[in-house]
Amino acid sequence: MSEYHGLAAALAEPAKVRRLELRDDWEHGELPALPASVGTLTRLEELSVWGIRSAPLPAAVVALPRLRTLRLQGLPDHQLPVELEAMVRLEELDLEQNGLTALPALDRLRALTVLRLADNHLTELPGWIAGLPRLVALDVDGNHLAELPSLAAAASLRELSCRRNRLGAADLRRLPAGLVELQLDAERIIPAALPALRTLTLRLGSDDGVAALLGAGLARLALHVRDPDVATLPGSLQHLDLRGCGLTAVPDAVLALPGLESLDLRDNPLVEVPPLPPGLRILRLDHGVTPRALDAIGALVELRELSITGCPIARLPLERLAALEVLEVTGAGLRDWPDCLAALPRLRRLRLADNQLTAVAPAIAQLTALEQLDLNRNQLTGLPDALGALPRLARIWLADNQIEVCPAALLAATALTGVTVARNPLRPGEFVRLFSRPGLRRLSR
Protein backbone atom coordinates (compact mmCIF):
# COMPACT_ATOMS: atom_id res chain seq x y z
CA MET A 1 0.00 0.00 0.00
CA SER A 2 1.43 3.39 -1.02
CA GLU A 3 1.73 5.66 2.04
CA TYR A 4 2.29 9.41 1.87
CA HIS A 5 3.19 11.92 4.60
CA GLY A 6 2.15 15.39 3.49
CA LEU A 7 -0.29 16.59 0.88
CA ALA A 8 2.12 17.92 -1.73
CA ALA A 9 3.73 14.51 -2.31
CA ALA A 10 0.31 12.85 -2.48
CA LEU A 11 -1.13 15.30 -5.01
CA ALA A 12 1.90 14.76 -7.24
CA GLU A 13 0.97 11.08 -7.63
CA PRO A 14 -2.77 10.89 -6.89
CA ALA A 15 -3.32 7.52 -8.58
CA LYS A 16 -0.85 5.81 -6.23
CA VAL A 17 -2.10 7.14 -2.91
CA ARG A 18 -3.76 4.58 -0.65
CA ARG A 19 -2.76 5.98 2.75
CA LEU A 20 -2.27 9.64 3.67
CA GLU A 21 -1.10 11.26 6.92
CA LEU A 22 -1.45 15.01 7.50
CA ARG A 23 -0.03 16.75 10.54
CA ASP A 24 -0.21 20.40 11.43
CA ASP A 25 3.59 20.73 11.60
CA TRP A 26 4.41 18.95 8.37
CA GLU A 27 3.23 21.61 5.93
CA HIS A 28 3.63 25.38 6.40
CA GLY A 29 3.77 24.95 10.17
CA GLU A 30 0.00 24.49 10.53
CA LEU A 31 -3.00 22.86 8.92
CA PRO A 32 -5.86 25.39 9.14
CA ALA A 33 -8.45 23.01 7.66
CA LEU A 34 -8.59 19.74 5.78
CA PRO A 35 -7.90 20.79 2.17
CA ALA A 36 -10.63 20.00 -0.34
CA SER A 37 -7.91 18.73 -2.69
CA VAL A 38 -7.75 15.56 -0.57
CA GLY A 39 -11.03 14.70 -2.27
CA THR A 40 -9.20 14.28 -5.59
CA LEU A 41 -7.37 11.22 -4.23
CA THR A 42 -10.05 8.84 -5.39
CA ARG A 43 -8.11 5.69 -4.49
CA LEU A 44 -7.49 6.78 -0.92
CA GLU A 45 -8.37 4.05 1.58
CA GLU A 46 -6.92 5.40 4.84
CA LEU A 47 -6.73 9.03 6.01
CA SER A 48 -5.10 10.26 9.23
CA VAL A 49 -5.31 13.93 10.23
CA TRP A 50 -3.75 15.52 13.32
CA GLY A 51 -4.29 19.05 14.55
CA ILE A 52 -6.48 20.79 11.99
CA ARG A 53 -7.57 24.30 13.05
CA SER A 54 -11.06 24.08 11.57
CA ALA A 55 -13.27 21.01 11.77
CA PRO A 56 -15.44 20.87 8.60
CA LEU A 57 -14.84 17.98 6.22
CA PRO A 58 -15.02 19.00 2.55
CA ALA A 59 -17.81 17.31 0.61
CA ALA A 60 -15.30 15.78 -1.78
CA VAL A 61 -13.55 14.05 1.14
CA VAL A 62 -16.82 12.76 2.57
CA ALA A 63 -17.63 11.26 -0.84
CA LEU A 64 -14.29 9.47 -1.39
CA PRO A 65 -15.44 6.11 -2.76
CA ARG A 66 -12.72 3.87 -1.29
CA LEU A 67 -12.08 5.55 2.06
CA ARG A 68 -12.56 2.95 4.79
CA THR A 69 -10.34 4.19 7.66
CA LEU A 70 -10.42 7.69 9.16
CA ARG A 71 -8.33 9.01 12.06
CA LEU A 72 -9.02 12.48 13.46
CA GLN A 73 -7.03 13.77 16.43
CA GLY A 74 -6.61 17.20 17.97
CA LEU A 75 -9.90 18.58 16.66
CA PRO A 76 -10.68 22.24 17.44
CA ASP A 77 -13.13 23.04 20.25
CA HIS A 78 -13.37 19.32 21.06
CA GLN A 79 -16.14 18.95 18.49
CA LEU A 80 -16.62 16.37 15.75
CA PRO A 81 -17.35 17.61 12.23
CA VAL A 82 -21.04 17.22 11.47
CA GLU A 83 -20.17 15.83 8.03
CA LEU A 84 -18.86 12.67 9.72
CA GLU A 85 -22.33 11.16 9.98
CA ALA A 86 -22.56 10.99 6.17
CA MET A 87 -19.43 8.83 5.78
CA VAL A 88 -21.41 5.62 5.75
CA ARG A 89 -18.69 3.56 4.03
CA LEU A 90 -16.28 3.89 6.93
CA GLU A 91 -15.18 0.64 8.54
CA GLU A 92 -12.64 2.01 11.04
CA LEU A 93 -13.01 5.30 12.90
CA ASP A 94 -10.36 6.60 15.31
CA LEU A 95 -11.35 9.65 17.40
CA GLU A 96 -8.70 9.38 20.11
CA GLN A 97 -7.30 12.42 21.95
CA ASN A 98 -9.92 14.98 20.98
CA GLY A 99 -11.16 16.07 24.41
CA LEU A 100 -14.68 14.90 23.55
CA THR A 101 -17.26 15.10 26.33
CA ALA A 102 -20.10 13.63 24.28
CA LEU A 103 -20.70 11.90 20.96
CA PRO A 104 -23.22 12.93 18.33
CA ALA A 105 -25.48 10.35 16.72
CA LEU A 106 -23.35 8.34 14.29
CA ASP A 107 -25.74 5.42 14.03
CA ARG A 108 -25.76 5.73 10.24
CA LEU A 109 -22.18 4.39 10.17
CA ARG A 110 -23.43 0.84 10.12
CA ALA A 111 -20.36 -0.50 8.32
CA LEU A 112 -18.08 0.30 11.27
CA THR A 113 -16.09 -2.64 12.58
CA VAL A 114 -13.58 -0.68 14.73
CA LEU A 115 -14.31 2.38 16.88
CA ARG A 116 -11.55 3.99 18.95
CA LEU A 117 -12.53 6.64 21.50
CA ALA A 118 -9.56 6.50 23.88
CA ASP A 119 -8.24 9.49 25.83
CA ASN A 120 -11.26 11.74 25.66
CA HIS A 121 -13.51 13.06 28.47
CA LEU A 122 -16.54 10.86 27.98
CA THR A 123 -18.63 10.09 31.06
CA GLU A 124 -21.01 7.76 29.24
CA LEU A 125 -21.46 6.11 25.87
CA PRO A 126 -24.55 6.63 23.72
CA GLY A 127 -26.84 3.68 23.10
CA TRP A 128 -26.36 3.73 19.34
CA ILE A 129 -22.91 2.15 19.71
CA ALA A 130 -24.43 -1.16 20.83
CA GLY A 131 -26.67 -1.03 17.77
CA LEU A 132 -23.84 -0.96 15.21
CA PRO A 133 -24.39 -4.34 13.53
CA ARG A 134 -20.79 -4.99 12.46
CA LEU A 135 -18.82 -3.51 15.37
CA VAL A 136 -16.04 -5.91 16.34
CA ALA A 137 -13.64 -3.77 18.39
CA LEU A 138 -14.29 -0.86 20.78
CA ASP A 139 -11.62 1.11 22.68
CA VAL A 140 -12.74 3.54 25.40
CA ASP A 141 -9.51 3.68 27.43
CA GLY A 142 -8.66 6.86 29.31
CA ASN A 143 -12.10 8.40 29.65
CA HIS A 144 -14.24 9.29 32.70
CA LEU A 145 -16.65 6.35 32.64
CA ALA A 146 -18.01 5.43 36.07
CA GLU A 147 -19.67 2.22 34.91
CA LEU A 148 -19.29 -0.23 32.08
CA PRO A 149 -21.30 0.78 29.02
CA SER A 150 -24.35 -1.31 28.25
CA LEU A 151 -23.18 -3.41 25.33
CA ALA A 152 -25.03 -6.68 25.81
CA ALA A 153 -26.91 -6.07 22.55
CA ALA A 154 -23.69 -5.64 20.55
CA ALA A 155 -23.79 -9.18 19.21
CA SER A 156 -20.80 -8.77 16.88
CA LEU A 157 -18.49 -7.18 19.49
CA ARG A 158 -15.42 -9.31 20.14
CA GLU A 159 -12.86 -6.88 21.63
CA LEU A 160 -13.42 -4.30 24.37
CA SER A 161 -10.77 -2.16 26.08
CA CYS A 162 -11.94 -0.08 29.05
CA ARG A 163 -8.80 0.83 30.99
CA ARG A 164 -7.92 4.04 32.82
CA ASN A 165 -11.48 5.07 33.58
CA ARG A 166 -13.26 5.56 36.92
CA LEU A 167 -14.98 2.24 37.28
CA GLY A 168 -15.95 1.06 40.75
CA ALA A 169 -17.83 -2.20 40.41
CA ALA A 170 -17.65 -3.30 36.78
CA ASP A 171 -20.78 -5.27 35.96
CA LEU A 172 -19.77 -7.75 33.30
CA ARG A 173 -23.40 -8.69 32.77
CA ARG A 174 -23.57 -5.56 30.61
CA LEU A 175 -21.22 -7.16 28.07
CA PRO A 176 -22.02 -9.48 25.16
CA ALA A 177 -21.49 -13.20 25.71
CA GLY A 178 -19.46 -13.46 22.51
CA LEU A 179 -16.64 -11.24 23.78
CA VAL A 180 -13.23 -12.74 22.95
CA GLU A 181 -10.87 -10.06 24.35
CA LEU A 182 -11.46 -7.87 27.42
CA GLN A 183 -9.12 -5.28 28.93
CA LEU A 184 -10.47 -3.64 32.05
CA ASP A 185 -9.45 -1.51 35.06
CA ALA A 186 -11.86 -1.39 38.03
CA GLU A 187 -12.02 -1.65 41.79
CA ARG A 188 -13.79 -4.97 41.45
CA ILE A 189 -15.93 -6.92 39.01
CA ILE A 190 -19.40 -8.38 39.07
CA PRO A 191 -18.78 -11.59 37.09
CA ALA A 192 -20.80 -12.97 34.23
CA ALA A 193 -20.52 -15.91 31.88
CA LEU A 194 -18.16 -14.96 29.05
CA PRO A 195 -17.41 -18.38 27.59
CA ALA A 196 -15.73 -17.10 24.43
CA LEU A 197 -12.97 -15.17 26.26
CA ARG A 198 -9.48 -15.94 24.99
CA THR A 199 -7.63 -12.80 26.18
CA LEU A 200 -8.23 -11.15 29.56
CA THR A 201 -6.40 -8.16 31.08
CA LEU A 202 -7.56 -7.01 34.50
CA ARG A 203 -6.22 -4.33 36.85
CA LEU A 204 -8.31 -4.54 40.00
CA GLY A 205 -8.47 -3.52 43.62
CA SER A 206 -9.89 -6.93 44.55
CA ASP A 207 -9.82 -10.29 42.81
CA ASP A 208 -13.38 -11.17 43.84
CA GLY A 209 -15.14 -12.85 40.94
CA VAL A 210 -12.03 -13.30 38.80
CA ALA A 211 -12.06 -17.09 39.09
CA ALA A 212 -15.40 -17.18 37.24
CA LEU A 213 -13.71 -15.67 34.17
CA LEU A 214 -10.87 -18.17 33.95
CA GLY A 215 -12.58 -20.45 31.48
CA ALA A 216 -11.16 -23.50 29.79
CA GLY A 217 -10.43 -21.67 26.54
CA LEU A 218 -8.48 -18.73 28.00
CA ALA A 219 -5.13 -18.38 26.25
CA ARG A 220 -3.81 -15.02 27.48
CA LEU A 221 -4.18 -13.61 30.99
CA ALA A 222 -2.77 -10.40 32.50
CA LEU A 223 -3.87 -10.07 36.11
CA HIS A 224 -2.73 -7.06 38.15
CA VAL A 225 -4.15 -7.26 41.68
CA ARG A 226 -2.51 -7.62 45.08
CA ASP A 227 -2.31 -11.19 46.40
CA PRO A 228 -4.46 -12.81 43.71
CA ASP A 229 -6.03 -16.20 44.25
CA VAL A 230 -4.41 -18.22 41.48
CA ALA A 231 -4.61 -21.63 43.08
CA THR A 232 -6.12 -22.91 39.85
CA LEU A 233 -5.47 -21.70 36.33
CA PRO A 234 -6.86 -23.04 33.05
CA GLY A 235 -4.47 -25.44 31.34
CA SER A 236 -5.13 -23.62 28.07
CA LEU A 237 -3.07 -20.58 29.18
CA GLN A 238 -0.15 -19.78 26.89
CA HIS A 239 0.64 -16.20 27.99
CA LEU A 240 0.58 -15.05 31.63
CA ASP A 241 1.35 -11.61 33.08
CA LEU A 242 1.31 -11.30 36.88
CA ARG A 243 3.15 -8.01 37.26
CA GLY A 244 2.70 -6.13 40.52
CA CYS A 245 0.78 -8.81 42.38
CA GLY A 246 2.93 -8.80 45.53
CA LEU A 247 4.05 -12.38 45.01
CA THR A 248 6.97 -13.67 47.06
CA ALA A 249 6.88 -17.08 45.39
CA VAL A 250 5.72 -18.34 42.01
CA PRO A 251 2.35 -20.09 42.47
CA ASP A 252 2.29 -23.84 41.91
CA ALA A 253 -0.56 -23.40 39.43
CA VAL A 254 1.79 -21.38 37.20
CA LEU A 255 4.48 -24.06 37.32
CA ALA A 256 1.91 -26.68 36.31
CA LEU A 257 0.77 -24.96 33.10
CA PRO A 258 1.69 -27.40 30.31
CA GLY A 259 1.62 -25.02 27.35
CA LEU A 260 2.89 -21.80 28.90
CA GLU A 261 4.94 -19.80 26.37
CA SER A 262 5.36 -16.35 27.96
CA LEU A 263 5.58 -15.33 31.61
CA ASP A 264 6.01 -11.84 33.12
CA LEU A 265 6.70 -11.75 36.87
CA ARG A 266 8.16 -8.26 37.17
CA ASP A 267 7.32 -5.97 40.09
CA ASN A 268 6.95 -8.87 42.52
CA PRO A 269 9.24 -9.34 45.55
CA LEU A 270 10.11 -12.92 44.62
CA VAL A 271 12.62 -14.59 46.90
CA GLU A 272 13.80 -17.12 44.34
CA VAL A 273 12.52 -18.14 40.93
CA PRO A 274 12.00 -21.92 40.81
CA PRO A 275 12.44 -24.12 37.74
CA LEU A 276 9.82 -22.96 35.23
CA PRO A 277 7.82 -24.75 32.52
CA PRO A 278 10.28 -25.99 29.88
CA GLY A 279 8.35 -24.67 26.89
CA LEU A 280 8.73 -21.00 27.83
CA ARG A 281 9.68 -18.69 24.95
CA ILE A 282 9.42 -15.32 26.72
CA LEU A 283 10.44 -14.63 30.34
CA ARG A 284 10.62 -11.30 32.19
CA LEU A 285 11.93 -10.99 35.76
CA ASP A 286 13.27 -8.36 38.16
CA HIS A 287 13.47 -10.26 41.47
CA GLY A 288 14.51 -13.68 42.71
CA VAL A 289 17.19 -14.36 40.11
CA THR A 290 19.65 -16.18 42.37
CA PRO A 291 22.61 -18.16 40.99
CA ARG A 292 20.54 -21.34 41.33
CA ALA A 293 17.61 -19.71 39.53
CA LEU A 294 19.96 -18.57 36.74
CA ASP A 295 21.15 -22.13 36.23
CA ALA A 296 17.52 -23.24 35.84
CA ILE A 297 16.80 -20.39 33.43
CA GLY A 298 19.83 -21.45 31.41
CA ALA A 299 18.12 -24.80 30.80
CA LEU A 300 15.03 -23.23 29.14
CA VAL A 301 16.26 -24.02 25.65
CA GLU A 302 13.05 -22.83 23.93
CA LEU A 303 13.52 -19.23 25.14
CA ARG A 304 13.36 -16.56 22.45
CA GLU A 305 13.25 -13.51 24.73
CA LEU A 306 14.72 -13.07 28.22
CA SER A 307 14.59 -9.92 30.35
CA ILE A 308 16.29 -9.68 33.76
CA THR A 309 16.25 -6.21 35.33
CA GLY A 310 17.81 -4.99 38.55
CA CYS A 311 19.07 -8.35 39.84
CA PRO A 312 22.73 -8.59 40.90
CA ILE A 313 24.43 -11.10 38.59
CA ALA A 314 28.02 -12.23 38.64
CA ARG A 315 27.82 -14.63 35.70
CA LEU A 316 25.40 -15.52 32.91
CA PRO A 317 25.15 -19.28 32.30
CA LEU A 318 23.08 -18.94 29.13
CA GLU A 319 25.24 -20.90 26.67
CA ARG A 320 22.46 -23.41 25.96
CA LEU A 321 19.94 -20.77 24.85
CA ALA A 322 20.93 -20.90 21.20
CA ALA A 323 17.42 -19.89 20.07
CA LEU A 324 17.49 -16.61 22.02
CA GLU A 325 16.70 -13.54 19.90
CA VAL A 326 16.21 -10.83 22.53
CA LEU A 327 18.29 -10.53 25.71
CA GLU A 328 18.02 -7.79 28.33
CA VAL A 329 20.22 -7.85 31.43
CA THR A 330 20.15 -4.36 32.92
CA GLY A 331 21.15 -2.99 36.31
CA ALA A 332 22.88 -6.27 37.15
CA GLY A 333 26.31 -4.92 38.10
CA LEU A 334 28.04 -6.80 35.28
CA ARG A 335 31.72 -5.88 35.08
CA ASP A 336 32.90 -8.26 32.38
CA TRP A 337 31.47 -8.93 28.95
CA PRO A 338 29.46 -12.20 29.27
CA ASP A 339 31.25 -15.08 27.54
CA CYS A 340 27.93 -16.85 26.89
CA LEU A 341 26.95 -14.27 24.27
CA ALA A 342 29.25 -15.89 21.72
CA ALA A 343 26.99 -18.96 21.87
CA LEU A 344 23.84 -16.99 20.97
CA PRO A 345 24.05 -16.54 17.18
CA ARG A 346 20.38 -15.59 16.73
CA LEU A 347 20.44 -12.51 18.97
CA ARG A 348 18.76 -9.55 17.27
CA ARG A 349 18.42 -7.20 20.24
CA LEU A 350 20.85 -7.00 23.15
CA ARG A 351 20.43 -4.65 26.14
CA LEU A 352 23.20 -4.47 28.73
CA ALA A 353 22.47 -0.96 29.97
CA ASP A 354 23.05 0.22 33.55
CA ASN A 355 25.95 -2.12 34.26
CA GLN A 356 29.65 -1.55 34.92
CA LEU A 357 31.14 -2.84 31.69
CA THR A 358 34.50 -1.35 30.77
CA ALA A 359 34.93 -3.12 27.42
CA VAL A 360 33.06 -5.02 24.70
CA ALA A 361 34.70 -8.31 23.80
CA PRO A 362 35.87 -8.83 20.17
CA ALA A 363 33.76 -12.00 20.26
CA ILE A 364 30.77 -9.77 19.55
CA ALA A 365 31.70 -10.37 15.90
CA GLN A 366 29.92 -13.72 16.21
CA LEU A 367 26.55 -12.03 16.73
CA THR A 368 25.95 -11.62 13.03
CA ALA A 369 22.16 -11.31 13.45
CA LEU A 370 22.42 -8.38 15.88
CA GLU A 371 20.30 -5.35 14.90
CA GLN A 372 20.10 -3.31 18.12
CA LEU A 373 22.67 -2.90 20.90
CA ASP A 374 21.99 -0.89 24.07
CA LEU A 375 25.07 -0.15 26.20
CA ASN A 376 23.84 3.03 27.86
CA ARG A 377 25.20 3.90 31.29
CA ASN A 378 28.27 1.71 31.50
CA GLN A 379 31.97 2.63 31.78
CA LEU A 380 33.07 2.03 28.20
CA THR A 381 35.97 3.97 26.75
CA GLY A 382 35.76 2.47 23.27
CA LEU A 383 34.45 -0.32 21.06
CA PRO A 384 36.27 -3.19 19.35
CA ASP A 385 36.79 -2.98 15.59
CA ALA A 386 34.94 -6.30 15.32
CA LEU A 387 31.67 -4.50 16.05
CA GLY A 388 32.02 -2.58 12.80
CA ALA A 389 31.76 -5.81 10.83
CA LEU A 390 28.30 -6.73 12.12
CA PRO A 391 26.25 -6.82 8.90
CA ARG A 392 22.82 -6.00 10.42
CA LEU A 393 23.60 -3.63 13.28
CA ALA A 394 21.28 -0.67 12.70
CA ARG A 395 21.00 1.04 16.09
CA ILE A 396 23.39 1.47 19.02
CA TRP A 397 22.98 3.31 22.33
CA LEU A 398 26.14 4.50 24.11
CA ALA A 399 24.92 7.32 26.33
CA ASP A 400 26.60 8.00 29.69
CA ASN A 401 29.87 6.18 29.05
CA GLN A 402 33.48 7.43 29.01
CA ILE A 403 34.10 7.58 25.27
CA GLU A 404 36.42 10.39 24.17
CA VAL A 405 37.25 9.36 20.60
CA CYS A 406 34.72 8.24 18.01
CA PRO A 407 35.21 4.46 17.73
CA ALA A 408 36.29 3.33 14.26
CA ALA A 409 33.64 0.60 14.51
CA LEU A 410 30.87 3.21 14.30
CA LEU A 411 32.32 4.56 11.09
CA ALA A 412 32.74 1.08 9.59
CA ALA A 413 29.33 -0.45 10.44
CA THR A 414 27.62 -0.35 7.04
CA ALA A 415 24.03 -0.96 8.24
CA LEU A 416 24.15 1.58 11.07
CA THR A 417 21.43 4.24 10.87
CA GLY A 418 21.14 5.46 14.48
CA VAL A 419 23.65 6.26 17.25
CA THR A 420 23.20 7.77 20.71
CA VAL A 421 26.37 9.15 22.34
CA ALA A 422 24.85 11.65 24.79
CA ARG A 423 26.86 12.60 27.86
CA ASN A 424 30.18 11.14 26.75
CA PRO A 425 33.35 13.24 27.07
CA LEU A 426 33.90 13.33 23.30
CA ARG A 427 36.85 15.44 22.23
CA PRO A 428 36.24 18.44 19.96
CA GLY A 429 35.54 17.34 16.40
CA GLU A 430 34.68 13.73 17.24
CA PHE A 431 30.95 14.33 17.07
CA VAL A 432 31.41 15.93 13.66
CA ARG A 433 33.32 12.87 12.44
CA LEU A 434 30.43 10.68 13.46
CA PHE A 435 27.84 13.04 12.04
CA SER A 436 29.54 12.94 8.64
CA ARG A 437 29.19 9.18 8.42
CA PRO A 438 27.11 8.24 5.31
CA GLY A 439 23.74 6.60 5.98
CA LEU A 440 23.32 7.86 9.54
CA ARG A 441 19.79 9.16 10.00
CA ARG A 442 19.58 9.53 13.79
CA LEU A 443 22.37 10.89 15.95
CA SER A 444 21.88 12.01 19.56
CA ARG A 445 24.65 13.70 21.48
pLDDT recorded at residue 52: 75
Separation CA 149–CA 255 (nearest Å): 37
> 138 - beta bridge partners?
115, 160
Express each pLDDT in 116-135 by its tens digit. 999 999 999 999 999 999 99
Give the sign of the dihedral formed by CA 58, CA 62, CA 68, CA 74: positive
Indicate the pLDDT class of residue 27, thresholds 50, 70 and 90: very low
pLDDT(33) > 90: no
Mean pLDDT over 193-210 rounds to 95
pLDDT tens digit string along 264-275? Answer: 999 999 999 999
CA angle, 326 then 331 then 333, to 5°: 110
In the predicted structure, residue 328 carries a pLDDT above the cut 70: yes
Beta-carbon contacts of residue 306 (< 8 Å; ≥ 6 apart): 282, 283, 284, 297, 318, 321, 324, 326, 327, 328
C-alpha distances in Å from residue 121, one per residue of 79, 97, 174, 212:
12, 9, 21, 32
Tell me: the pLDDT tens digits for 272-325? Answer: 999 999 999 999 999 999 999 999 999 999 999 999 999 999 999 999 999 999
Domains of the chain: 219-311 (3.80.10.10), 312-445 (3.80.10.10)
Confidence of residue 26 (pLDDT cuts 50, 70, 90): very low
Per-residue pLDDT at 28: 43
Kindly report each contact of residues 380-389 with a partner whose C-beta sits within 8 Å and lies 24 or more positions away, as own/partner. Answer: 382/407, 383/407, 383/409, 383/410, 384/359, 384/360, 384/409, 385/409, 385/412, 386/362, 387/360, 387/413, 388/412, 388/413, 389/365, 389/413
Least confident segment among 68-82, 135-149, 285-299, 358-372: 68-82
pLDDT surpassing 60 at residue 1: no
